[in-house]
Structure 1
Amino acid sequence: MDILDQLGAVREGKLSRRKFTKGLLAAGVAMTTVPLPARRAMASEGEQATYFTWGGYDIPELFGPYQEQNGTLPNFAIFGGSEEALTKMRGGFVVDVSHPCNQSMPRWVQTGLFQPIDTARVANWGDVIPELVDLPGNGAEAGKVWMAPFDWGQTSITYRTDLVELEGEESWDILWDPRYAGRLGSLASGGDAWWCGAIKAGIDFANIDTPEAFDKIAAVMREQRPLMRLYTDDTTTLEQALSAGEMVASMTWNSSAVLLQAEGIPVKFARPKEGALTWVCGVMIHKDAPNLDRAYDVIDSLLSVETGHFMINDWGYGHSNSKAFDQFEEETLAGLGLSKNPVEILNAGHFQQPQTQEWETQMNELFEQIKAGF
């Protein structure tokens, strides 16, 4: 199948963007030179649930059960960061379900824009790992929850083992090493980068909201800024730059390392001596969801064993369905930096903690200034 045929398959929803990108990487083609058209809508708006999510999660592999039940994919709307998503919904953008992470969830609840999830309507709920449900602020009335956990994992450093010369243990220092000036990258969202900067600065997350913490984190982020080649939330762009050797290391999620390793690129997902950033993300239902029944279909599809197998095997992420892990040997999971017991992973690094809207606003404004060179 040549590139034009693959583009046609993507338009028709028969080939995911990620598989298309993997094919380009294998062929040595840079994605920046081949614009990817938007997928053709498979159902008119209003007939299917609308899923408001991070880029990359709008793929058929996550919605096998949904397609079987509804004959098509849900509609998708994409955001680059949870603050962007919340701002858009506050402005009147109505969706059925959205995809925040644990540190954002309490602030989302406080807006009054979301309804509790009736877990009795979620067929896969009995297999969800309890520790991922019992997050701060996730309890609602009558035993309901605000967020159905879906994916969990780490933010760390994916680095080229043939291009980075380690001095001792793996460390966040890689992304502050002047030897690699102009060849380093980072996720652009403060929801990842600022917290990783806190780890580098030695800030206890329990004190991340103090003025002293802001000053220390801002100092290390400003120190890093001249070394950076790229800030982006497009993980494909980061992966391509690492694959081509244009960058030697970048802050990424688990999936980038797994994808590049599958393509034979010599990379490793670091286990920094200071600890990685750990997170849990999930699904929340808008209070005015126009397609409530299909909103629950989206949740059940995302929580299915089928989706969990893909998330673990293809992306190296943890999944909330415990039965998905039964399909893997413990050795395989360990090689992905995972465990059948998520508590081991969550406790091994630095687990994000909910913050106030004021903190979130101040953090994002300051980080945007630093990225701009101020």
Structure 2
Amino acid sequence: MDVLDQLGSMREGKMSRRAFTKSLMAAGIGVATAPMLPRGASAAGQQGTYFTWGGYDIPELFGEYVEKNGELPNFAIFGGTEEGLTKMRGGYVVDVAHPCNSGVPRWISTGLFQPVDTSRLSHWDDVMPELVNVQGNVVDGKPYMVPFDWGQTSVTYRTDLFEVEGEESWDMLWDKRYSGRLGSLASGADAWWCGAIKAGVPLTDIASEDAFEKIAAAMREQRPLIRTYTDDTTTLEQALASGEMVAAMTWNSSAVVLKSEGVPVKFAKPKEGALTWVCGMMIHKDAPNLDRAYDIIDSLLSVKTGEFMINDYGYGHSNKKAFDAFDAATLEGLGLSKNPIEILEAGHFQIPQTQDWETRMNETFEQIKAGF
């Protein structure tokens, strides 16, 4: 089915907008190029720019923004937060960027971002304070990152194709029975930390030399078993759906998507604990459209956006009122809870590291993926 056929199917209600978006991403086509919501060049230039992951550049997250400003914000997509930060260090200016908690202190230290004036956010009083007060985020009483989405990184596996021996475990992604049928996220921001959990390294000690060597050894042991490293979650989902892969390191959303398509999968609860994270929005110090920057953030904090994130992506949302539409059983099935502390404390929460550590970790992981 080509793009025009898929667009027609979406308009006829035969294909969801999310499925259409994912299909475009899998084909290497940016959502901004799709003939869905045309905009005039002059109007587009007046909108704020949101620098984010693929999959967050969709209309369902920006209902309030469109209602107020007449159209969607502009989008710029990065493959990972380190890539995004490097681009901004090089002079790329946006209004709002989308990092995760482990990088916030380093992002702040660049001097490229401004503290958030929470009085300009209409939904601020409903934001969960536990997510605001992550390590290094609040400086002189002011937050730099406004929390938006939170969740887990774990193992999504085919229940009909993968035979679990004993309890669910990170060992599943090191299982030699399934060599060549396992997948992993490509970013060290996920994979290295999950490797630490597998290696039994406390995340509080992850920066030690002994820990570094233990994790590197675990990642090298895993390398021959991995069919694909990618941060394109669509690729992992399609491989799991077809049976090409039987298990992969993913975020919550992949299991939710596959279940909705009738694929027999489960998002594992490893006995060692899952990796937990919180991501959010930061405002560039030179944001050219500051009013629109706050409109972007406020829209992402809205209850309607939160309900979509929980239901369609399986991610937690920072607005506590967004959970009112879901019962406890539904949230548990998504790997979530109305109390984020239950999830954050049940797993392993990433801890901010120095730029030197991040650089060494990423360089080492890239070498391992290349077979060295």
TM over 0.5: yes
Alpha carbons of structure 1 residues 255 and 163: separation in structure 2 relative to 1, 3 Å = same
1:144: Cα distance to partner? 2.3
Task: Detail structure 1 runs of 4+ shifted over 4 Å in the superposition.
Answer: 8-11
Query: Post-superposition shift, 1:39?
Result: 2.5
Matched, 1:42 2:39: yes
State the distance in 2 between where 1:235 and 1:167 align.
26
Give secondary structure in 2 for the equivalent of 1:46: helix
- Residue 146 to residue 43, structure 1, CA distance change in 2 (3 Å): farther
1:244 to 242, 245, 251: 242
**Distance between the aligned counterparts of 1:7 and 1:186, measured in 2?**
30
**Paired residue type of 1:20:** F
SS in 2 for 1:252: strand
SS at match of 1:158: strand
**How far has the Cα of 1:19 moved from its partner?**
2.5
Indicate conservation of the 8 Å contact 2:25/2:31, yes or no: no
Question: Contact 2:21 / 2:31 at 8 angstroms: preserved in 1?
Answer: no
- The structure 1 residue matched to 2:272, chosen from 264, 271, 274, is 274
The SS at the match of 2:286 is: coil
| In structure 2, C-alpha distance between the alignment counterparts of 1:133 and 1:365, rounded to whole Å | 30
Query: 1:6 is matched by which residue type in structure 2?
Result: Q
Question: Whole-Å Cα distance in 2 between the matches of residues 140 and 115 of structure 1?
Answer: 11
2:326 matches 1:296: no
Partner of 1:7: 7
* Structure 2 unaligned residues grouped into runs of 5+: none
CA offset at residue 38 of structure 1? 4.3
The equivalent position to 2:316 in structure 1, one of 315, 318, 323, is: 318
Could you give the per-residue CA deviations for residues 108-146 of structure 1, whole angstroms, max 9, x where no partner exists?
0000000000000000000001100111111133x4210
Alignment of 1:1-374 (within 5 A): 4-7=4-7, 18-20=18-20, 36=29, 38-40=31-33, 42-44=39-41, 45-141=44-140, 143-374=141-372
Alpha-carbon distance in 1 for matches of 2:96, 2:207: 29
Q: Is the 8 A contact 2:31 2:57 kept in 1?
A: no
Q: State the Cα distance separating 1:89 from its structure 2 match.
A: 0.2
Work out the CA distance in 2 between the residues paired with 1:357 and 1:340: 34
Is the Cα contact below 8 Å between 1:156 and 1:251 reproduced in 2?
yes
RMSD in angstroms over aligned alpha carbons? 2.0
| CA deviation profile, 1:223-275 (whole Å, cap 9, x unmatched) | 00011110000001110010111100000000000000000000000000010
Q: CA deviation at 1:47?
A: 1.1
Say if 1:248 and 1:327 are closer, same or farther in 2 by CA, change over 3 A.
same
Question: Relative to 1, partners in 2 of residues 1:236 and 1:288: Cα closer, same or farther, differing over 3 Å?
Answer: same
Aligned to 1:39, the other structure's residue is in SS state: helix
Distance in 1 (CA, whole Å) between partners of 2:116 and 2:10 is 33
Greater mean alpha carbon deviation, residues 191-200 or residues 46-55: 46-55
Q: CA contact under 8 A between 1:55 and 1:79: conserved in structure 2?
A: yes
Q: Could you say what secondary structure the match of 2:32 adopts?
A: coil
Contact 1:46/1:291 (<8 A) preserved: no
The count of residues paired between Structure 1 and Structure 2 equals 363
Q: Write the distance in 2 (CA, Å) between the matches of 1:349 and 1:167.
A: 21
Question: Matched residues in 1 for 2:214 and 2:39: separation?
Answer: 49
2: distance between equivalents of 1:175 and 1:299?
36
1:319-373 C-alpha deviation (Å, 9 max, x unpaired): 0000000111111111111111000000000000000000000000000000000
- Look up the match of 1:27: none
Distance (Å, rounded) in 2 between the aligned partners of 1:250 and 1:278: 17
CA–CA distance in 2 between the matches of 1:191 and 1:10?
34
SS in 1 for 2:281: strand
TM-score, length basis structure 1: 0.93
**1: CA distance, partners of 2:5 / 2:239:** 25
Which secondary structure does the structure 1 equivalent of 2:196 belong to?
A: helix
SS in 1 for 2:153: strand
Residues of 2 paired with 1:279 and 1:60: CA distance? Answer: 24
TM-score with structure 2 setting the length: 0.93
CA-to-aligned-CA distance 1:16-55 (integer Å, 9 cap, x gap)? 7622167x7xxxxx986x5646433635353111100011
Instruction: For structure 1, list consecutive stretches of 5 or more residues without a partner in the other structure.
Output: 25-29
